[in-house]
């Protein structure tokens, strides 16, 4: 099983499912952009900006998954702000120190079977587990 992120144009294979330890993330470099990819305890995949808007460091892939009420969350390892994994919003502060809204971009992510030869690859993958591309 591989993990794929949609970069706005196409799905890109970034790692295998085994690379993702439940509850822990990895960082992905996509044409200079950094994405943090997580797998939660129940197997769901999440992909968000890796840049922590509060410290400016690209460290969110090293944060801890959790929950707040019903919402699945990610806590930044730097100053511990908590983000909602369903919409990327920071639940603790609305704006970052530079004045921008503290919202992380969500990237469409899915797991897929090992890539088949290009010609035979289905247009819509059979096993998308997370969000569809916007």
Partner 1 sequence: MTSHSPDRPRELVLVGHGMVGQRFLEAWTEQPGADRWRVTVLAEEPRPAYDRVHLSSLFDGRTPEDLALCPPGFLAEHGIDLRLGDPVTAIDRAARTVTTRAGRQVRYDALVLATGSAPFVPPVPGRDAAGCHVYRTIEDLDAIRADAERATIGVVVGGGLLGLEAAGALRATGLSTHVVEFAPRLMAVQVDDGGGALLRRKIEDLGVTVHTSAAADAVATGPEGRVRALSLSDGRELAADLVVFSAGIRPRDQLARDCGLPVGARGGIVVDERCRTADPAVLAIGECAQAADGRVYGLVAPGYQMAETAARELADRPGDGFVGADTSTKLKLLGVDVASFGDPHGAAEGAVDVLYSDSRLGVYRKLVIGADGALLGGVLVGDTDSYGTLRPLAVAGRPLTVPPEQLVLPAGLSTAGPVALPDEAVLCSCHNVTQGAVRAAVREQGCDSVAAVKKCTRAGTGCGSCVKQLGTVVGEELAAAGFAPQTGLCEHFAQTRAELYEIVRVTGITGFSDLLDRYGQGEGCEVCKPTVASILASLGGGHILDGEQAALQDSNDHFLANLQRNGSYSVVPRVPGGEITPEGLITIGEIARDYGLYTKITGGQRIDLFGASVDQLPGIWARLVDAGFESGHAYGKALRTVKSCVGETWCRYGVQDSVALAIELELRYRGLRSPHKLKSAVSGCARECAEAQSKDFGVIATSAGWNLYVGGNGGMTPRHADLLAADLDRETLIRTIDRYLMFYIRTADRLERTSVWLDRLEGGLDHLRAVVIDDSLGIAAELDELMARHIGCYQDEWAATLADPDRLRRFSSFVNAPGTPDPAVTFVPERGQIRPARPGEDGRVLTTPAPVLVAGPRLEVLTP
- Report in angstroms how near the CB of residue 131 gets to partner 1 at its nearest: 19
- Is 109 near partner 1 (CB under 8 A)? no
Q: Of the candidates 7, 55, 10, 9, which has an alpha carbon nearest to the alpha carbon of residue 34?
A: 7
- Is 90 near partner 1 (CB under 8 A)? no
> Sheet harboring 45-49: ordered strands across?
25-30, 33-39, 45-49
Torsion angle, alpha carbons of 12, 14, 18, 19, to 10: -160
- Is 75 near partner 1 (CB under 8 A)? yes
Q: Using CB under 8 A, which residues numbered 35 to 74 contact partner 1?
A: 37, 40-41, 51, 55-59, 62-69, 72-73
Judged by DSSP in three states, 82 sits in strand
**Which residues contribute to the site for partner 1 (CB under 8 A)?**
14-15, 19, 21-24, 26-29, 32, 34, 37, 40-41, 51, 55-59, 62-69, 72-73, 75, 77-78, 80, 82, 95, 97-101
């Amino acid at each position: 099983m591989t993990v794929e992120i949609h970069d706005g144009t196409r799905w890109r294979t970034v790692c295998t499912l085994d690379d993702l330890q439940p509850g822990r993330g990895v960082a992905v470099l996509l044409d200079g952009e950094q994405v943090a990819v997580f797998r939660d305890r129940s197997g769901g995949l999440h992909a968000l900006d890796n840049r922590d808007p509060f410290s400016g460091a690209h460290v969110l892939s090293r944060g801890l998954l959790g929950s707040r009420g019903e919402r699945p969350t990610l806590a930044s390892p730097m100053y511990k702000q908590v983000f909602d994994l369903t919409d990327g919003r920071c639940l603790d502060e609305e704006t970052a120190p530079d004045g921008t809204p503290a919202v992380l971009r969500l990237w469409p992510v899915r797991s897929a079977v090992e890539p088949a030869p290009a010609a035979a690859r289905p247009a819509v993958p059979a096993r998308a587990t997370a969000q569809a591309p916007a």
